[in-house]
């Protein structure tokens, strides 16, 4: 089976789906790996690195036409659809819930497609979960960028000139990104508070040294498949009241709340931003999906009411070497689940992971 690695087509994307180390593993198991020239350049992996790992480095069109399986991080470029062959297998993040037209066009090519962002949040799938591996980096990077943007230092510091009190950090959403943000901010010496709709995150927050701001959710709205669900208007009102005392005192606010396939929930209103401390910074990791802050702009930094708001999905792009390494390991583990051997894939639709991620099977849309 020939595995093809394509260079990402998005201008801002710096990651690559498969790294030389993972190529070496695939080759040792009998697969043939075709890698598009310069696919890993922005992640600091050269074409020679791939050749030394056993890959064949080729041009874009050759990788598409010769591969049985194609890997990419982001949805495939629709300009390439005419080159796809019936029976090919495509593996990437496809965001199928919010891109039905894309899925329909892809199905018309008779391919099979797996969407990595549909990976179920179960223990057995943890080492294949690209959202978790990338969000973990996002939480870390959000704190580092926030520390650079605020005009204060994080830790308590006692000097001959006087004592500097620690910065206050507030985190919305205690998922993978939020937990890493809590841990990183605490290591840097900040006073950290966090809030989430899921009650089980209270213990997780406190285990990392953060204070948890808890608002009792309405029945049935806690979580779905490991993700927070869209909260009711009543819950949003009560949460707003509970967190405002901390929000208005915070030096750095990090928001991480996203709902797969839907616009990000607004957690910080324009009215609340106007009441925040002058010089405070909001790092909105949901900036590209609508933003958790009402005033966020995608991939842009704006200043409103004296508050700097960074709307971003910065982490994977800015730490591309680590992000690519983790993503590639996720894919490798996923392929090991799917493949009966180097000859082809099995279609065990009784398997929860296969069933959840298999979006198109031989041209038929399943999800």
Within a domain: 229: yes
The structural domain count of the chain equals: 2
121: annotated active-site residue: yes
- Residues 282, 329 within the same domain: no
- Residues 100, 166 within the same domain: no
Q: Please give the Cα distance from 83 to 4 (Å, whole number).
A: 13
- Residues 212, 243 within the same domain: yes
Q: Rounded mean pLDDT of 226-247? A: 77
- Residues 182, 293 within the same domain: yes
- Residues 224, 152 within the same domain: yes
- Residues 157, 91 within the same domain: no
pLDDT digits (tens, 9 = 90+) for 267-326: 999 999 999 999 999 999 998 888 999 999 988 999 999 999 999 876 678 899 999 999
Place of tokens 């709307």: 311
Q: Is 306 left (phi over 0), alpha (psi -120 to 50) or beta?
A: left
Q: What CATH number has the domain bearing residue 302?
A: 3.40.50.720
Within a domain: 129: no
* Boundaries of domain holding 290: 135-318
pLDDT at 226: 53
Catalytic one of 126, 218, 234, 237: 126
Strand partners, 69: 3, 89
pLDDT at 223: 56
Within a domain: 73: yes
Residue 51 phi, psi dihedral angles, 5° rounding: -60, -45
Q: Please give the Cα distance from 209 to 222 (Å, whole number).
A: 23
102: annotated active-site residue: no
- Residues 259, 343 within the same domain: no
Q: Has residue 111 got a pLDDT over 60?
A: yes
- Residues 197, 234 within the same domain: yes
Within a domain: 72: yes
Catalytic one of 49, 68, 117, 129: 129
How much is the mean pLDDT over the chain?
Answer: 92
Q: Has residue 113 got a pLDDT over 80?
A: yes
Q: Has residue 164 got a pLDDT over 80?
A: yes
Within a domain: 164: yes
- Residues 233, 200 within the same domain: yes
126: annotated active-site residue: yes
pLDDT at 267: 92
- Residues 274, 288 within the same domain: yes
Binned at pLDDT 50, 70 and 90, residue 224 comes out as: low
Within a domain: 126: no
Within a domain: 173: yes
129: annotated active-site residue: yes
pLDDT at 84: 96
pLDDT digits (tens, 9 = 90+) for 114-153: 999 999 989 999 999 999 999 999 999 999 999 999 999 9
Percent of the chain beyond pLDDT 90? 80
The answer for residues whose C-beta is within 8 angstroms of residue 92's C-beta and 6 or more apart is 17, 71, 72, 73, 74, 75, 76, 113, 114, 115, 116
- Residues 241, 355 within the same domain: no
Q: Please give the Cα distance from 254 to 146 (Å, whole number).
A: 8
Q: Has residue 343 got a pLDDT over 60?
A: yes
Q: Rounded mean pLDDT of 59-70? A: 97
Instruction: Read off the pTM.
Output: 0.87
* H or E segment and range at residue 247: helix 233-247
Catalytic one of 115, 132, 180, 324: 132
- Residues 99, 22 within the same domain: yes
Specify whether the CB–CB gap between 267 and 172 falls below 8 A: yes
C-alpha distances in angstroms, 339 versus 30, 41, 122, 128, 282? 12, 29, 20, 14, 44
pLDDT at 314: 66
Within a domain: 124: no
The token duo for 229 is 């669900």
Catalytic one of 121, 152, 187, 366: 121
């Amino acid at each position: 089976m020939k595995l093809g690695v394509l260079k990402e087509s998005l201008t801002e994307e710096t990651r690559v789906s498969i790294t030389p180390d993972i190529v070496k593993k695939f080759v040792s198991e009998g697969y043939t790996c075709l890698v598009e020239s310069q696919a890993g350049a922005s992640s600091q992996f050269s074409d020679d690195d791939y050749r030394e790992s056993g890959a064949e480095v080729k041009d874009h069109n050759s990788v598409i036409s010769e591969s049985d399986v194609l890997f990419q991080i982001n949805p495939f470029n629709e300009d390439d659809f005419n080159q796809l062959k019936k029976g090919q297998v495509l593996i990437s993040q496809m965001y199928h819930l919010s891109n039905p037209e894309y899925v329909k066009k892809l199905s018309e090519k008779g391919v099979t497609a797996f969407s990595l962002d549909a990976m179920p949040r179960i223990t057995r799938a943890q080492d294949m979960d690209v959202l978790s591996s990338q969000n973990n980096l996002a939480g870390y990077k959000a704190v580092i960028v926030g520390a650079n943007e605020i005009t204060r230092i994080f830790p308590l510091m006692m000097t001959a000139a006087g004592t500097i009190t620690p910065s206050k950090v507030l985190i919305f959403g205690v998922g993978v990104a939020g937990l890493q943000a809590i841990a990183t901010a605490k290591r840097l010496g900040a006073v950290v508070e966090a809030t989430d709709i899921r009650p089980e995150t209270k213990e997780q927050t406190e285990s990392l040294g953060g204070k948890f701001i808890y608002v009792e959710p309405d029945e049935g709205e806690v979580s779905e498949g490991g993700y927070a669900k869209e909260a009711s208007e009543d819950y949003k009102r009560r949460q707003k009241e509970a967190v405002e005392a901390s929000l208005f005192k915070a030096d750095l606010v990090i928001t991480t709340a996203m709902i797969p396939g839907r616009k990000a929930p607004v957690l910080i209103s324009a009215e609340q931003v106007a009441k925040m401390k002058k010089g405070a910074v909001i790092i909105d990791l949901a900036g590209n999906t609508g933003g958790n802050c009402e005033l966020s702009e995608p991939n842009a930094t704006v200043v409103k009411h004296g508050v700097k708001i960074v709307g971003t999905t910065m982490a994977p792009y800015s730490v591309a070497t680590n992000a690519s390494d983790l993503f590639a390991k996720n894919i490798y583990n996923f392929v090991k689940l799917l493949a009966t051997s180097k000859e082809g894939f099995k279609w065990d639709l009784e398997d929860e992971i296969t069933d959840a991620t298999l979006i198109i099977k031989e041209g038929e849309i399943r999800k």
